[in-house]
Amino acid sequence: MRILSGIQPSGALHIGNYFGALRQFIDLQRENDAYYFVADYHALTSVRDADQLRAYTFDVMVTMLSLGLDPDRATLFVQSDVPETTELAWLLTTVTPMGWLQKCVSYKDKVEQGLSAEHGLFAYPVLQAADILLYDADLVPVGQDQKQHLEITRDIAERFNQVFGGGKEVFRLPKPHILESVAVVPGLDGRKMSKSYGNTIEIFDEPAAIKKKVKRIVTDSTPVEAPKNPETDSLYHLFKLFAAPDELAEVERRYREGGIGYGEVKTRLADAMIARFAPARERRAEWLAHPGRVEEVRAAAAERARATARRVLDRARRACGVG
Ligand code: ADP
Ligand code: TRP
């Protein structure tokens, strides 16, 4: 199967990105033909400093590589290294009804958060559809918040096939891959962990910073001895993502019976987080010491990605009669 997904370089990646997206990227690279990219064209809707965008783009590449994305198995590229993307986005935009974009919650959310209501933000889902359709993707691993964008992608593909394909399939219809257990990772304040809420723990935060942030996770005021409901506690939810099964069973039992304090859970969570990412932290230091190697990965992947993209773009151009 062809797997494809992207992640925006709009800041350091956090553990919501890890469980919602990156971990699936790594799992799926083994038995599939995987394409992953750094969505720098998309990030332009929020990052407005060229040097900063370049630095974030590099950082996201390094983060993916450090976490175990294997450049010999997966094609790990940068979106703007394949300018065919923007051409396809235009072709798709000609068959995209305004109403579909108007109902997109991510646009409304971002404008509410203070981003200006620019056309790029409005047309963001069309560019995302181009990313996906350009590589004949079968499966797109993402977190829950991207579900609507995947639906629009399918709708646009179907409409293009209908309008220009004359019944023939120009684009393959992709499916989302969303793991329910990690669909929404909570942040320090209990809302969805997100850069835009300032409630994140970054994957590569220093151990001392991880400990400090974990202490800030919001809990209720149930005393140590009292029974607690693990299902409604975001600290427990985070702990569940990191704990070994026997440790989790013990903590769950003590929640339900009473006798465990949130302070203890926080200490164990911070330790588990630090331990989980320790090997990746070492690999990261290694990649950072050899930036030339990251550039080599990027260049080789761009070439592979572009060859695939070219074939699909030509198919789309022929179908609609340009060129
Ligand atoms: P942010 O909300 O921090 O800006 P992005 O929108 O850049 O994160 O998300 C990149 C990827 O990580 C997407 O696939 C998204 O669904 C996933 N993701 C982001 N935050 C979470 C979260 N809290 N829980 C699960 N998945 C998430
Ligand atoms: N919109 C996605 C996000 O904010 C990033 C993205 C861009 C993407 N293009 C994509 C994800 C294509 C999957 C497939 O997380």
What pLDDT digit, counting tens, does each position of 82-118 carry?
999 999 999 999 999 999 999 999 999 999 989 899 9
Whose alpha carbon is nearest atom 6 of ligand 2? 6
42 within ligand 2 shell (Cβ under 6 A):
yes
The best mutation among 124, 138, 146 to test binding of ligand 2, ranked by most ligand atoms within 8 Å of the C-beta, falls on 146
Three-class SS of residue 72?
A: coil
Q: Is the CB of residue 79 less than 8 Å from the CB of residue 42? A: yes
200 within ligand 2 shell (Cβ under 6 A):
no
Q: Is the CB of residue 85 less than 8 Å from the CB of residue 131? A: yes
Question: Which CATH homologous superfamily contains domain 2-184+291-320?
Answer: HUPs (3.40.50.620)
Where does CATH 1.10.240.10 sit in the chain?
205-276
More confident residue, 181 or 108: 108
Mean pLDDT for the chain? 96
The pLDDT confidence band at residue 32, using thresholds 50, 70 and 90, is very high
Where does CATH 3.40.50.620 sit in the chain?
2-184+291-320
Of the candidates 44, 13, 245, 53, which has an alpha carbon nearest to the alpha carbon of residue 36?
13
| CATH, domain range 205-276 | 1.10.240.10
3 within ligand 2 shell (Cβ under 6 A):
no
Q: Which ligand is nearest to the CA of 19?
A: 1
Helices (H) and strands (E) in the chain, counts: 15, 5
Distances (CA, A) of 149 to 123, 175, 184: 11, 11, 16
273 CA to centre of ligand 1 in angstroms: 18
Rounded-to-10 torsion of CA 28, 34, 35, 36: 20
7 CA to centre of ligand 2 in angstroms: 5
214 CA to centre of ligand 2 in angstroms: 28
Q: Which residue reads 């038995």 in tokens?
A: 31
| Sign for the pseudo-dihedral over CA of 74, 307, 171, 93 | positive
Whose alpha carbon is nearest atom 1 of ligand 1? 194
Q: Over 90: is that where the pLDDT of 158 sits?
A: yes
Three-class SS of residue 14?
A: strand
Atom of ligand 1 nearest to the CA of 195: 3
206 CA to centre of ligand 1 in angstroms: 21
192 within ligand 1 shell (Cβ under 6 A):
yes
| Mean pLDDT, residues 61-85 taken together | 98
The rounded distance, in Å, linking the Cα atoms of 40 and 32 is 24
39 within ligand 2 shell (Cβ under 6 A):
yes
The reported pTM is: 0.95
